[in-house]
Structure 1
Amino acid sequence: MTPLELDSGSTAWILTSASLVLLMTPGLALFYGGMVRAKSVLNMMMMSFGALALISVLWVLYGYSFAFGNDIGGGLLGDPTEFFGLRGLMTEDPEAAYPTMAFVGFQAVFAIITVALISGAIADRAKFSTWMIFSGIWASIVYFPVAHWVFDFTLTDDADVVTHTGGWIANQLSAIDFAGGTAVHINAGVAGLALAIVLGKRVGWRRDPMRPHNLTLVMLGAGLLWFGWFGFNAGSALGANNTAAVVWVNTLVATAAAAIGWLLTEKFRDGHPTSLGAASGVVAGLVAITPACSAVSPIGAIVIGLVAGVLCALAVGLKYKLGYDDSLDVVGVHLVGGLWGTIAIGFLLSPDSPAGLSYEKSGLFYGGGADQLWRQAVGALAVLVYSFVLTLLIGFVLQKTIGFRLDEESEMAGIDNAEHAETGYDLGNLTSSLRGALSGSTAPRRADGDINHDEEATA
């Protein structure tokens, strides 16, 4: 290949985007943490931080090689030994516009948040130690291979000789998934469904109120997710270029439209729009536009977002009809939103969009027929089935061997104290302080907290 000059602007954009996506995992921890009851907030946040720690290490050891090593089996898996420990990747590649390690870091944070997303489906009732074991196994045999299918593209040199063979969805199927509608959201969403089935319902589900304990945290988390998602989507352009700009605008407007769609649905269905609905609508829009952000016009992005807001707002109620306890609506938002965004490309692929120009294709509504539509459907279905079956198997084996579900007594008392010997809020001291303030006593106190009556008398 003709040597390329390192593009410092694109390198800076990739590293900045990777940092934005990394921020999404703490943002997710806040979002999920606020949605659970007060007795579960620390465990919920720990599941995200645990995934961040574990997957970072696994990605460096072998995850990147599984996902982006040269294909060793019909587009299904990268060579796990090619880049083991990221060997050979620290030196500058004269044929690349950006350092390989920048791409390694960018893809690492995708792996992290995909695993963390699953945790919302099993809030309040999963052993933390088993969650960590599950996260490592699931990332290794589900996410890493699927990332290879979707994100690893075949490369050729100037003589059209193949220098690297990638995954089957990206290359043989030619389904469009710009930033992870299949690999991230359908993958995590259906995994959440499988684990919810394995672990069963929370104690008191549909009987006891299980309202979010802190909507302020939920809104803050949603805001950080929206902010970080510009790195998630626009960063996937892997350059400071026109594609990144188009994707940025589409991400903004689709998310805004989804929030409006969710709030309108609540208004007509329930009589009042809610802050939880606004935050959930934001996430639904971000999920839906993720695969399509390079493939549609801004008007198409509005359509995708608006439909996602309405569709996901209605889909979160399916758990009550079908009887699975998806604690924080991972299925209703990520699985349904990811499916809609991925399939919608088949209808709304614009010939003037970056993806339309690159693939030289159009969607059904632009006169392109159903060719791209069936490709999108096959890609989505393949990831859905693969992830669901393997997650069900992993979860079942862990439940039957070391135990995945927390015991009933610990669940009712509070998973934070049972699993971490901590509580999110020191309400005992707060109550004591309030009692002292309300008593009106201003007497000096000894170090042990008792009133020093001698000093009070002297005064």
Structure 2
Amino acid sequence: MHQNRVAPARSPSKPPRKHSFPSPLIALLLSPLAALAQTAPAAAPEPAATTALTAPGLVAASAIQGADTAWLMVSTALVLLMTLPGIALFYGGMVRRINVINTLASVVGIAAVVSVLWFALAYSLAFTPGGALGGFIGGASRMGFSGMEYLAASGQVAVSHIAQHVPESVFAMFQLTFAIITCALVVGALVERMHFGALLLFAGLWLLLVYAPIAHWVWEPGGWLAQLGALDFAGGAVVHINAGAAALVCAYALGPRAGYGREPFVPFNLGLTMAGTGLLWVGWFGFNAGSALAADGRAGLALLVTHVAAASGAIAWMGAEWFSRKRASLLGLCSGVVAGLVAITPAAGFVTPRSALVIGLVAGVACYWGATALKRKLRADDSLDVFGVHGVGGLVGAVLTGVLADPAISGVESSVVAQLIACVAVLAYSLVMTAVVLWLTSRFATLRVREGEERAGLDVSLHNESVG
């Protein structure tokens, strides 16, 4: 047993403390801004080798575990692969030929903007303890990655209090890849009609005002949902419910695409979508197994259940499509894979392979319904079914985590009530604050392109490029 290792925040080793229900919604809406008024604390002294940190600090370089660090670095690359090129190809293959370049550029541009803002402020807001509003938002101690150093002369390295056995530089980079893919997922709801500059401004504001606070609630040990006992191993609420809710708001705010429901929207190349699905499937092993923050048995279990859920999700979606439409499609199979992957995400470190099979099967059917019947009821042009797959799949996975989490694996007693509170809180906050972010964006940029530009295609209209 290594003295410096602490239990990862996503798989606590003892039951979390019970807290009373949090402050009203207005406190949640204002909480991201509170960090701007905080002053950065003085640099923390080097803790003793056996002292558990309660905030980011320095430890002896000898306390770093090489195998865990190597696995987290590999996982970081795998998760980034999910966005670049995974999501880019997955989405790019489904849009029309005249909008492929814009879709790819949107994903790459978001990755760049999110990366710089993560360095500047967002990481600190998400993963450091806060002040008076510490349950809702982090502090400013890691702005500009301040203090995140490797000091060879003194034999010290900066670590996060959440993962004291790996360098904080690796932990911060791993978490950055989650922020990138969450923001990129929202692109699927607004493709083919949003100005490129407005999209990048929206993504930056959304990262700071929506993603960072929710990540803090769930994954920072002092976050109010973490204290409540909500389980989210790798992002069912933080990534998928959050992105799904934002996607729905964006679809309503921008309105349907010109010709939606009256003209055929032929996908450019479903072969690209299949390639993107494969990259997502492989990259998801880093997404889920990497969230163990160690190269250990929990990581191995997370990898196994991720694959089982993906396969069963594909089978369930295919079965539902076959039953209702008398055929199976490649797009349906790809969507079922993603549905299973989404739903297992919050449960990956807490359930048995048998439970993973159940989660994948339920998610495949539920997300098929979300992308068809529910989509028609909502009357929103969520172009690539972000809410139907990620929103619905995230909700299914989060609730089933409360039902199926095994205390012998997770180390805690799961609570369906805590899971439901987390789902409702994340859904409500993301819905409201995404609308606020869109309004703020509209004050500085035009959200939607003109109809003539839309008809000509965003590739030529916005980028003067085409796929040929």
Alignment of 1:394 onto 2:447: no
Structure 2 counterpart of 1:382, from 394, 419, 425? 425
Task: Specify the alignment match of 1:219 in structure 2.
Answer: 274
Deviation, 1:5, is 2.7
SS of alignment partner, residue 328 of structure 1: coil
* 1:304-353 superposed Cα distances (whole Å, 9 cap, x missing partner): 00010011011111222321100000010000000000011121112332
Contact persistence 2:231–2:402 (CA under 8 A): no
Task: Specify the alignment match of 1:50 in structure 2.
Answer: 109
Deviation, 1:242, is 0.6
Higher mean displacement: 380-389 or 86-95:
86-95
Quote the Cα distance in structure 2 between the aligned partners of 1:396 and 1:84: 26
TM-score, structure 2 normalization = 0.83
Quote the Cα distance in structure 2 between the aligned partners of 1:103 and 1:327: 34
Quote the Cα distance in structure 2 between the aligned partners of 1:35 and 1:400: 31
Task: Specify the alignment match of 1:335 in structure 2.
Answer: 391
Contact persistence 1:147–1:183 (CA under 8 A): yes
Quote the Cα distance in structure 2 between the aligned partners of 1:377 and 1:74: 22
Contact persistence 2:343–2:363 (CA under 8 A): yes
Alignment of 1:196 onto 2:255: no
* 1:124-159 superposed Cα distances (whole Å, 9 cap, x missing partner): 000000000001100011101111111112xxxxxx
Contact persistence 2:314–2:335 (CA under 8 A): yes
SS of alignment partner, residue 352 of structure 1: helix
Contact persistence 1:151–1:167 (CA under 8 A): yes
Quote the Cα distance in structure 2 between the aligned partners of 1:217 and 1:405: 26
SS of alignment partner, residue 147 of structure 2: coil
Alignment of 1:7 onto 2:65: yes
Deviation, 1:400, is 5.7
Quote the Cα distance in structure 1 between the aligned partners of 2:449 and 2:405: 46
Alignment of 1:89 onto 2:148: yes
Mapping 1:309-328, distance limit 5 Å:
309-317=364-372, 318-328=374-384
Structure 2 counterpart of 1:405, from 432, 436, 448? 448
Counterpart AA for 1:299: R
Quote the Cα distance in structure 2 between the aligned partners of 1:169 and 1:261: 31
TM-score, structure 1 normalization = 0.85
Mapping 1:27-426, distance limit 5 Å:
27-72=86-131, 73-79=133-139, 81-91=140-150, 92-93=157-158, 96-153=164-221, 166-170=222-226, 172-317=227-372, 318-353=374-409, 355=410, 358-359=411-412, 361=413, 372-399=415-442, 402-424=445-467, 426=468
Quote the Cα distance in structure 2 between the aligned partners of 1:273 and 1:293: 28
**Runs (5+) with no aligned partner, structure 2:** 1-47, 51-61, 151-156
Deviation, 1:74, is 4.2
SS of alignment partner, residue 291 of structure 1: helix
Contact persistence 1:198–1:396 (CA under 8 A): no
* 1:177-214 superposed Cα distances (whole Å, 9 cap, x missing partner): 00011110000000000011100000011110113120
Higher mean displacement: 94-103 or 104-113:
94-103
Counterpart AA for 1:69: T
Alignment of 1:17 onto 2:75: yes
Deviation, 1:109, is 0.5
Quote the Cα distance in structure 2 between the aligned partners of 1:396 and 1:413: 27
Q: Rg larger in 1 or in 2?
A: 1
Quote the Cα distance in structure 2 between the aligned partners of 1:332 and 1:54: 26
**Runs (5+) with no aligned partner, structure 1:** 154-165, 363-371, 427-459
Quote the Cα distance in structure 2 between the aligned partners of 1:386 and 1:36: 29
Counterpart AA for 1:406: V
The structure showing larger relative contact order (alpha-carbon pairs under 8 Å, at least 6 residues apart) is 2
Quote the Cα distance in structure 1 between the aligned partners of 2:92 and 2:454: 16
Contact persistence 2:49–2:63 (CA under 8 A): no
Instruction: Give the share of equivalent positions with the same residue, in percent.
Output: 47
Contact persistence 1:122–1:195 (CA under 8 A): yes
Total equivalences in the alignment: 398
Contact persistence 1:399–1:405 (CA under 8 A): no
